[in-house]
């Protein structure tokens, strides 16, 4: 038993041990892997295996962690230190604003949490933006184009400095 295979075998042995010994406590061990490939390999030996992203998606207040995982995934995909997706072209933005898909507004960073902002769209609408990826590269005072997320993805300020 050597290298990676030995480590994986030890991990599965430990998970099985805990599964047996924690039954009365209603604690269920889970193996968390960094990639889908690793997850599939581990599933041959143990049932409850998740990727880190799947695990975090099941948590409450997960936006910041999901941002960090996404940035890490972009980096690992050979995109160097790129942390944000490529900007849309000027033409795509203008077309989206004209069609109503995007709204144009003034970006204001929260004083309480640097990963949150408000976008003031005209005099009557203000949209809340949360997370480094959603804020993208905008800085306080920028004019930005924003797209409304589906309602199930809406969030509220976290009040963290």
Give residue 161's pLDDT band: very low, low, confident or very high (50, 70, 90): very low
What's the order of all strands across the beta sheet hosting 143-146?
Answer: 125-130, 116-121, 103-109, 143-146
Count how many Cα atoms sit within 13 Å of the Cα of residue 100 in the half-sphere of its side chain: 0
Beta strand 116-121 with 31-33 is unpaired
Query: Which residues belong to CATH 2.40.50.690 in the chain?
Result: 90-153
Among 135, 144, 138, which residue's Cα sits nearest to residue 93? 144
| pLDDT digit string, tens, across residues 8-25 | 889 999 999 999 999 899
| pLDDT digit string, tens, across residues 140-153 | 999 999 999 888 88
* In the predicted structure, residue 1 carries a pLDDT above the cut 70: no
CATH of 90-153, one of 2.40.50.690, 3.20.20.70, 3.40.50.880, 2.40.50.100: 2.40.50.690
Give 104's contacts (C-beta < 8 A, 6+ positions apart): 97, 121, 143, 144, 145
| Bridge partners (DSSP) listed for residue 93 | none
């Amino acid at each position: 038993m050597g290298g990676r295979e030995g480590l994986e075998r030890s991990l599965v042995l430990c998970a099985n041990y805990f599964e047996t010994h924690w039954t009365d406590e209603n604690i269920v061990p889970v193996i968390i892997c960094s990639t889908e490939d690793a997850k599939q390999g581990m599933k041959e030996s143990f049932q409850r295996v998740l990727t880190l992203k799947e695990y975090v998606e099941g948590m409450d207040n997960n936006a910041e962690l999901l941002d960090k995982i996404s940035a890490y995934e972009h980096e690992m995909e050979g995109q160097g230190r790129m942390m944000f997706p490529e900007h849309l072209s000027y033409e795509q933005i203008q077309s989206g604003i004209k069609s109503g898909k995007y709204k144009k507004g003034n970006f204001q960073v929260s004083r309480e949490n640097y990963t949150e902002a408000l976008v003031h769209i005209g005099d009557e609408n203000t949209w809340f933006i949360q997370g480094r990826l959603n804020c993208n590269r905008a800085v306080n005072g920028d004019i930005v184009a924003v797209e409304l997320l589906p309602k199930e993805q809406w969030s509220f300020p976290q009040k963290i400095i």
